Chains A and B, each alone.
Chain A
């Protein structure tokens, strides 16, 4: 079935962004298996439509705050894939000079205020960034991404309430992939869900299929317009599924293979591809986009491999200004 308001160029843009994220995640997974990518790596494979659909509606000056599963958000916001891969490889040219790794990717030059190793911690930080925007009378918006598991942490309540009472320009995007690490979130959460919790605090909330990139794009566009018009915070619950384990090492034995197989049919990239073909975009065009994404990431990996380690002297940099040379 063809879709109303189908904008082939915009959808092709999503196909490109999602393909770049997918290629990045697959390379990160391979790097982890080979031991070149260290630490914990959380892949967003299967959730790419949310990052792409939301971030396409942001300007460079707008801000995002991300999570431990943040590669997709960064790429969609415009971060340099080469610098990101170098960061995963712990190399000198990484976004964080090799001091953060996967869980701490940040790029302040594009308003990406950081992934976070602490579940839910980004919520008050995002609210604070929005508070600062309002304080200085700016027109930027803040998007705060988090997982369904975060709804059970205190900062979820405190941060959402904060955004409401100060009427802040912020969009909360909850990516409900069904799991909090290895546990089904629903089994440990009271009430009707994160959107109901947001509504109980007076924040208008919507629930959508987060694997439908056109729907995510259109919905986010509407919500961000309302926010930009001074309407205060909004909450978007995106239903999705984590096609890989919690981390790149997790084989996810806690869920049946049949469930994953079934969910694979709802892969957001597959759905986007079907829609594009249906609307007459040639398959060759899509293959070209995929090939470009793979080539870009492939060369990012090669560059990261060849790049030098950071000089050990930088371990002593950027701790603090006062007492900068005092270690003991």
Chain B
């Protein structure tokens, strides 16, 4: 075990995978200088500019080139800087990467990872704050991962790089500095498996990414009132761990889904609907209002979910 930040855990995972597999390489803007957040620090010195590639500001070409390079046997890790900029490469991701294997009848595997730093962070406003995981979960062919802890940013990134499918990998910008234990020499974390953050029999709370930590605070508050939440960190948005979620909700008979993304059309709706269809139990969603993320802190607060709101929502369901 070593204690490190979420950012360092991701950096290590890439470094280890690049050492393990010479087919792995990374491309994106400003990677040679460590990437905009420092997630690539030192890697170009270690692996050289041919494997840690500084690219022009050409998101479509970054994604498109990764698709072509993946098709002919390399394993690119694409850095999009901010999830918001990945929207300049949606054709390449959605029409090309996600479709190639299927529409070519099994030819054309596209083993790439596209890292899309997401979420609200330091008043970044409308074009640098979005959480768009539900969009990609909607696309057959893509795997969508939202790590919440340093251990997961290590284990899940390693798994994403080893995966033969295109993986949308959404790190939360507000978690970069979060410290936690990361097991050394561990196997990659299985994609598609959720993590039980704390066990409880009164209400199921399903969440992911940064909201795992907010929901954990809420669960602690509920516990003080004698309410035991079964808190699930989904980790992988697609495929999502139906077994754990349905198993838990079947016991607690209540399922609250919490996410930072806009609630309307968010992935919480998918989970809530499935739980209601399969089990007929009480469901509820908590997400952001359907607003562009505003700049000034008190305005930005309008989009955020505080632990108190999770507590209130949980109480309403009991």
Complex interface: chain A residues within 8 A of B50 (CB): 135
Q: With the chains together, A126 CA to B239 CA distance in Å?
A: 30
Interface residues in A28-67 (C-beta closer than 8 Å to B): 63, 65
Contact (A127, B105) CB under 8 Å given A118-B91, A321-B164, A322-B143 = no
Q: What is the 8 Å Cβ interface bit string for chain A, positions 243-279, against chain B (1 contact, 0 not)?
A: 0000000000000000000000000000000000000
B66 close to A128 (CB less than 8 A): yes
Stretch in A151-159, A176-184, A220-228 with 4+ CB within 8 Å of B: A151-159
Question: B101 within 8 Å of A by Cβ?
Answer: yes
A123 close to B107 (CB less than 8 A): no
Question: A89 within 8 Å of B by Cβ?
Answer: no
Contact partner, A104, options B68, B91, B103, Cβ 8 Å: B103
Question: A326 within 8 Å of B by Cβ?
Answer: yes
B109 vs chain A, min Cβ distance (A) = 9
Stretch in A107-115, A191-199, A206-214 with 4+ CB within 8 Å of B: A107-115
Contact (A98, B68) CB under 8 Å given A321-B163, A326-B242 = no
Contact (A96, B104) CB under 8 Å given A124-B67, A155-B60, A323-B239 = yes
Stretch in B71-79, B126-134, B215-223, B283-291 with 4+ CB within 8 Å of A: B71-79
Question: A232 within 8 Å of B by Cβ?
Answer: no
B58 close to A131 (CB less than 8 A): no
B143 close to A323 (CB less than 8 A): yes
A125 close to B64 (CB less than 8 A): yes
Interface centre among A106, A124, A128, A132 (most CB of B within 10 A): A128
Complex interface: chain B residues within 8 A of A125 (CB): 64-65, 67-68, 71, 92, 96
Interface centre among B53, B64, B66, B92 (most CB of A within 10 A): B64
Q: What is the 8 Å Cβ interface bit string for chain B, positions 100-113, against chain A (1 contact, 0 not)?
A: 11111111100000
B68 close to A135 (CB less than 8 A): no
Contact (A97, B68) CB under 8 Å given A124-B92, A127-B61 = no
Complex interface: chain B residues within 8 A of A5 (CB): none
Q: Residue of A at shortest CB range from B63?
A: A124
Question: A1 within 8 Å of B by Cβ?
Answer: no
Interface residues in A128-181 (C-beta closer than 8 Å to B): 128-133, 135-136, 154-155, 157-159, 161-162, 165-166
Complex interface: chain B residues within 8 A of A312 (CB): none
A69 vs chain B, min Cβ distance (A) = 17
B112 vs chain A, min Cβ distance (A) = 10
Question: B142 within 8 Å of A by Cβ?
Answer: yes
Q: What is the 8 Å Cβ interface bit string for chain B, positions 120-148, against chain A (1 contact, 0 not)?
A: 00000000000000000000111100000
A106 close to B64 (CB less than 8 A): no
A135 close to B51 (CB less than 8 A): yes
Q: How many chain A residues touch B (Cβ–Cβ < 8 Å)?
A: 50
Q: With the chains together, A88 CA to B236 CA distance in Å?
A: 37
Q: Residue of B at shortest CB range from A137?
A: B50
> Which bracket fits the contact residues of B?
35 or more
B64 close to A161 (CB less than 8 A): no
Question: A2 within 8 Å of B by Cβ?
Answer: no
A320 close to B143 (CB less than 8 A): yes
B192 close to A322 (CB less than 8 A): yes
Q: With the chains together, A321 CA to B167 CA distance in Å?
A: 11
Q: With the chains together, A46 CA to B96 CA distance in Å?
A: 29
B110 vs chain A, min Cβ distance (A) = 10
B189 vs chain A, min Cβ distance (A) = 12
Known contacts A124-B61, A124-B68, A136-B23; 9 further A-B pairs (Cβ under 8 A): A99-B102, A100-B105, A114-B108, A131-B69, A132-B70, A135-B50, A135-B69, A158-B61, A321-B164
Q: With the chains together, A158 CA to B108 CA distance in Å?
A: 23
Complex interface: chain B residues within 8 A of A326 (CB): 192, 239, 242
A170 vs chain B, min Cβ distance (A) = 10
Contact partner, A320, options B56, B65, B140, Cβ 8 Å: B140
Q: Residue of A at shortest CB range from B102?
A: A318
Complex interface: chain B residues within 8 A of A114 (CB): 100, 104, 108
Interface residues in B32-61 (C-beta closer than 8 Å to A): 50-51, 53, 55-56, 58, 60-61
Q: Residue of B at shortest CB range from A108?
A: B107
Complex interface: chain A residues within 8 A of B82 (CB): none
Contact partner, B64, options A159, A320, A323, Cβ 8 Å: A159
B64 close to A128 (CB less than 8 A): yes
A155 close to B74 (CB less than 8 A): no
Complex interface: chain B residues within 8 A of A318 (CB): 101-102, 105-106
Question: B176 within 8 Å of A by Cβ?
Answer: no
Complex interface: chain B residues within 8 A of A240 (CB): none
A129 close to B61 (CB less than 8 A): no
A126 close to B25 (CB less than 8 A): no
Q: With the chains together, A206 CA to B191 CA distance in Å?
A: 49
Q: What is the 8 Å Cβ interface bit string for chain B, positions 1-39, against chain A (1 contact, 0 not)?
A: 000000000000000000000010100000000000000
